């Protein structure tokens, strides 16, 4: 039985590695596609303005770590929009979101980039059109 343990570990690592690649590939396929209709969540933003959508789930551990930073930046960045995937699953599917947290950058009605996972403050600030103003 002990000789099977290394095989099981290697198989598990390979399985999860392939799964990660699949999720990243799905996210890349969304890039360049027209963004789905987001009028219900955009508020007063102009349709062609740059927007960054933050897709999260309340039960997601990494999302719970990311959300305070997103909330802080939203105070000075109305173009950073939070979307709970459990409340808007069709919208998340329209963006090709299959994992949370995810960020989708939209400019001119086209999905420019989809980033998966926790983002640093500087990475998130680079997605936004300008640095957050000091409060």
Do the domain assignments include residue 132?
A: no
Do the domain assignments include residue 48?
A: yes
Q: Per-residue pLDDT tens for 33-42?
A: 888 888 888 8
Do the domain assignments include residue 17?
A: yes
C-alpha angle 58-72-54 in degrees, rounded to nearest 5: 45
Q: What percent of the chain has pLDDT over 70?
A: 74
Contact 111, 32 (CB under 8 A): yes
E runs forming strands in the chain: 51-56, 80-84, 102-107, 110-116
In the block, tokens 């173009």 appear at 79
| 0.85 surpassed by pTM | no
Do the domain assignments include residue 135?
A: no
Structural domain count of the chain: 1
- b/e per residue, 55-80, with b = 16+ CB within 10 A? bbbeebeebeebbebbeebbeebebb
Low-confidence ranges of the chain (pLDDT < 50): 132-135
Range of the domain at 28: 4-127
**What is the reported pLDDT for 39?**
83
Do the domain assignments include residue 78?
A: yes
Do the domain assignments include residue 133?
A: no
Q: What is the CATH number of the domain that holds 51?
A: 3.40.30.10
């Amino acid at each position: 039985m002990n000789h099977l343990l290394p095989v099981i570990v290697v198989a598990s690592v390979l399985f999860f590695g392939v799964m990660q690649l699949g999720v990243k590939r799905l996210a890349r396929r969304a890039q360049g596609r027209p963004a789905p209709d987001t009028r219900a969540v955009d508020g007063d933003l102009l349709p062609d303005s740059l927007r960054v959508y933050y897709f999260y789930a309340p039960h997601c551990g990494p999302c719970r770590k990311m959300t305070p930073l997103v909330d802080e930046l939203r105070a000075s960045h109305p173009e950073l929009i939070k979307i709970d995937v459990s409340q808007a699953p069709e919208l998340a599917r329209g963006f090709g979101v299959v994992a949370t947290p995810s960020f989708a950058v939209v400019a001119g009605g086209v999905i420019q980039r989809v980033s998966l996972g926790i983002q640093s403050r500087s990475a998130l600030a680079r997605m936004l059109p300008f640095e957050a103003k000091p409060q």
